[in-house]
Amino acid sequence: MTTRKGEAEIGRIIEVRLEGLTLRVADVRRSIEFYGNKLGFTVEIDKAPQFAMIRVGGPTGGTIGLLVHDSSDPLGSNSTTPRQRAGIHVELTTDHLDALYEQLKGRGVEFFKPPHEEPWERSMRVHDPDGYTIEFAEGRRGHRGVT
C-alpha cells in the first residue's frame, strides 16, 4: 500500500546542477582545435580520437564532452542531418559580448550571426565543425529583464 506524501514534502526538490553535455562529433581532434584553440576553452581530457572533455568558464565551469560518432549504432548521431545538428544550441554567456566577438574573430572564428539584439537578449552565433550552433549571449540567461 502506498501512502500519499504531504504537499510540502512533494514540493521539495533536491538541488541538481548541470555539469555539462556531450556532443557526438565526426573528428574529435578537429573539435579540440575548434573548442580549445579557436574558442580558447580548456582541454581537460584528450583521449582523441574517441573522446575529449572541454572545460568552459574556468575550474568551476561546466564541460562539453566530444564523443566520436558510433557508426555501429543505427540510431546514433550519423543519422542526424546538418539541419538537426544546427538546431542544437550550446548556450554560453559573457559580460563582454562585443569584445569577445572581436577576440574570436581575430582567431579566425567565422560567425554566421554577429552580435545582434533579440527581443530577449543580445547574442551572436557560430557553427562548430559538426554544425552544432554555439551561441554566446550577453549577461546571465534569463536575467536581462527584457521580454
Q: What is the pLDDT of residue 36?
A: 97
Please state the φ and ψ torsions of residue 117, each to the nearest 5 degrees: -90, 130
Helix or strand run (H / E) with residue 11: helix 7-11
Residue 56 burial (C-beta neighbours within 10 Å; 0-12, 13-18, 19+): middle
Report how far Cα 125 is from the mean position of its chain's Cα atoms.
11
DSSP class of residue 78 equals G
Helix (H) or strand (E) holding 9: helix 7-11
pTM for the structure as a whole: 0.82
What does each of the 147 residues of the chain score in pLDDT, given as a tens digit? 555 665 556 677 899 888 999 999 999 999 999 999 999 999 999 999 999 999 999 999 999 999 998 766 665 556 678 889 889 999 999 999 999 999 999 999 999 999 999 888 999 999 999 999 999 999 877 665 443
Closest by CA to 133, choosing from 84, 89, 82, 77, is: 89
